[in-house]
Amino acid sequence: MVKICCIGAGYVGGPTMAMIALKCPDIQVVVVDIAVPRINAWNSDNLPIFEPGLDEVVKACRGKNLFFSADVERHVADADILFVSVNTPTKTQGLGAGKAADLTYWESAARMIADVSKTDKIVVEKSTVPVKTAEAIEKILNVNHNGIKFQILSNPEFLAEGTAIEDLKCPDRVLIGGRETPEGKKAIQALKDVYARWVPEDRIITMNLWSAELSKLAANAILAQRISSINAMSALCEATGADVTQVAHAVGKDSRVGSRFLNASVGYGGSCFQKDILNLVYICECNGLTEVANYWKQVVHINDYQKARFVKRVVSSMFNTVSGKKIAILGFAFKKDTGDTREAAAIDVCHGLLGDNAKLSIYDPQVAESQILKDLSMNKFDWDHPLHLQQYMDPSEISKSVSVVSDAYEATKGAHGVCILTEWDEFKELDYKRIYDGMHKPAFIFDGRNVIDVDALRKIGFITYSIGKPLDPWVKDLPAAPPS
């Protein structure tokens, strides 16, 4: 019986291994982690992560051919195929700080594997890692091998939050990269055999190791670039009177471009886009490819520009100051239908408004108050490191100007302005007349996600700004963009 062990019981490792166990009843799958509470949670009725459909998959296999254990070394020693799915946060200090991936966890996992292994193993990179990580890992393993043979494969994950189980069940593609040697090809085939149980052959793409590592970063960079491109257009639309929604629709009709990921907004967020691009930029710089690094950096620049532009619109519309004014923030998560706030545009927008001394009242249907306060008092990139290493501003400072409420009407009551920062469906159905009546006049609304009906809100009396849409006469003659 083939034995698979996965190091790291996190967001990627847990669901991926559960799916393998479900689809391969003849394979034993063990997920290990040094964090005992996390393992206990996986063994309980309350799984540590929420994904639609995950519960059913775990319950169908747990105790049968799917196990969760904190006894890392024993299971690693037993396995034929080892997935490494540990975190690779962005470095916050030292060489490459703010850009390079921190491989501390990966390196110690590799050293542990070398230490405890007594049989040949296939080691699979599952975490998103910089190109050439495999080579580093290979070196660590082969210098400490005790006569054991290791084959390194790269098998990047492509899961989106909220659809992880669906993505695992019917993936667009599975990438497997390996060495172009007979042993490397054998290892690729072994992993391919696992996926081939449920993924059609033509969707399993095998390639060289570096191509697989780079493909993940490339895909995320190109996706983020689509968003930055339409966001760049949104600024020009505002300046010329075009409507970015019409432009995006027309552009997306071109079958060579395609229609998805072309929604203008206050900016993309999430744990991957920013991180992967900065990582890509760093690798380019390390290889002396300055022009290429600058090219990809622009994707992040436009995202930052878009957030700064939004803050500027808010402040300049409201008589150039929001000091002491109550601003309602509707939505804090980085996208709808999740409670995830990692790299959410809302964090930077709130910081911008707080910098101008605004009083914020925040409502998000899914994000907890403690998370919002933590995000607003944390340094950039710290979210990706273990809790005990995160540095905070004094949260009592933040809570003086920020309050988190449980209702959109409460958030907007007595406010001078409203900012919509997540595209939650419920924000389309709010009673905006009621909101208007409860606000100071003139009542401003700034829609960072194009969810509201601009005309209807103007009829109520709101001064309305919606990204990339023809401007309200009120806003029109104010400066269009922050000075560069």
Cβ of residue 170: shortest distance to its own copies, in angstroms? 11
Does residue 46 belong to the site contacting its own copies (CB under 8 A)? Answer: no
* 342 annotated as belonging to a binding site for a ligand: yes
Does residue 223 belong to the site contacting its own copies (CB under 8 A)? Answer: yes
Give me the catalytic one of 272, 284, 350, 419. 272
* β-pair partners for 31: 6, 68
| Burial zone of 239 (CB within 10 Å; 0-12 exposed, 13-18 middle, 19+ buried) | exposed
Which positions from 98 through 157 interact with its own copies, judged by CB under 8 A? 131-132
Does residue 212 belong to the site contacting its own copies (CB under 8 A)? Answer: yes
- HSE value, Cβ hemisphere, 13 Å, CA-based, for 399: 11
* 33 annotated as belonging to a binding site for a ligand: yes
d(CA 152, CA 147): 16
Query: What x-and-dash track marks residues 300-339 binding its own copies by CB under 8 A?
Result: -xx--x----------------------------------
CA nearest to 325, candidates 360, 349, 300: 360
Does residue 249 belong to the site contacting its own copies (CB under 8 A)? Answer: yes
Query: What x-and-dash track marks residues 150-189 binding its own copies by CB under 8 A?
Result: --------x-------------xx-x--------------
* 88 annotated as belonging to a binding site for a ligand: yes
Does residue 213 belong to the site contacting its own copies (CB under 8 A)? Answer: yes
Between 201 and 429, CB nearer to its own copies: 201
* 160 annotated as belonging to a binding site for a ligand: no
SS3 sequence of the chain? CCEEEEECCCCCHHHHHHHHHHHCCCCEEEEECCCHHHHHHHCCCCCCCCCCCHHHHHHHHECCCEEEECCHHHHHHHCCEEEECCCCCECCCCCCCCCCECCHHHHHHHHHHHHHCCCCEEEEECCCCCCCHHHHHHHHHHHCCCCCCEEEEECCCCCCCCCHHHHHHCCCCEEEEECCCHHHHHHHHHHHHHHCCCCCHHHEEEEEHHHHHHHHHHHHHHHHHHHHHHHHHHHHHHHHCCCHHHHHHHHHCCCCCCCCCCCCCCCCCCCCHHHHHHHHHHHHHHCCCHHHHHHHHHHHHHHHHHHHHHHHHHHHHCCCCCCCCEEEEECCCCCCCCCCCCCCHHHHHHHHHHHCCCEEEEECCCCCHHHHHHHHHECCCHHHCCHHHCCECCHHHHHHHEEECCCHHHHHCCCCEEEECCCCHHHHCCCHHHHHHHCCCCCEEEECCCCCCHHHHHHHCCEEEECCCCCCHHHHCCCCCCCC
Between 104 and 298, CB nearer to its own copies: 298
Contact residue for its own copies among 69, 104, 298, 390 (CB under 8 A) = 298
Does residue 233 belong to the site contacting its own copies (CB under 8 A)? Answer: yes
The question of whether 6 is a catalytic residue gets the answer no
Query: What x-and-dash track marks residues 341-370 binding its own copies by CB under 8 A?
Result: ------------------------------
Task: Determine the interface stretch with its own copies among 63-71, 271-279, 289-297, 358-366 (rule: CB under 8 A).
Answer: 289-297
* 285 annotated as belonging to a binding site for a ligand: no
Does residue 454 belong to the site contacting its own copies (CB under 8 A)? Answer: no
Does residue 91 belong to the site contacting its own copies (CB under 8 A)? Answer: no
* 406 annotated as belonging to a binding site for a ligand: no
Between 246 and 370, CB nearer to its own copies: 246
Contact residue for its own copies among 253, 428, 440, 476 (CB under 8 A) = 253
CA nearest to 335, candidates 324, 325, 346, 326: 346
Between 126 and 374, CB nearer to its own copies: 126
Task: Determine the interface stretch with its own copies among 21-29, 188-196, 216-224, 363-371 (rule: CB under 8 A).
Answer: 216-224
* 256 annotated as belonging to a binding site for a ligand: no
Does residue 203 belong to the site contacting its own copies (CB under 8 A)? Answer: yes
Contact residue for its own copies among 61, 86, 235, 278 (CB under 8 A) = 235
Enter the tokens of residue 408: 């959109």
Contact residue for its own copies among 78, 138, 243, 410 (CB under 8 A) = 243
* 273 annotated as belonging to a binding site for a ligand: yes
Contact residue for its own copies among 9, 264, 283, 349 (CB under 8 A) = 283
For the beta carbon of residue 167, count every other beta carbon within 10 angstroms: 19
Residues 6+ apart with CB under 8 A from 209: 134, 135, 152, 153, 154, 177, 178, 179, 184
Cβ of residue 419: shortest distance to its own copies, in angstroms? 21
Task: Determine the interface stretch with its own copies among 253-261, 385-393, 421-429, 432-440 (rule: CB under 8 A).
Answer: 253-261
Q: Which residues does the annotation mark as catalytic?
A: 272
Binding-site positions for NAD(+) = 8-13, 33, 38, 86-90, 127-128, 161, 272-275, 342
Q: What residue ranges bind its own copies (CB under 8 A)?
A: 131-132, 158, 172-173, 175, 203, 205, 207-208, 210-215, 218-219, 221-223, 225-226, 228-229, 232-233, 235-237, 239-243, 246-247, 249-251, 253-258, 260-261, 280, 283-284, 287-292, 294-296, 298, 301-302, 305, 470, 480-481, 484
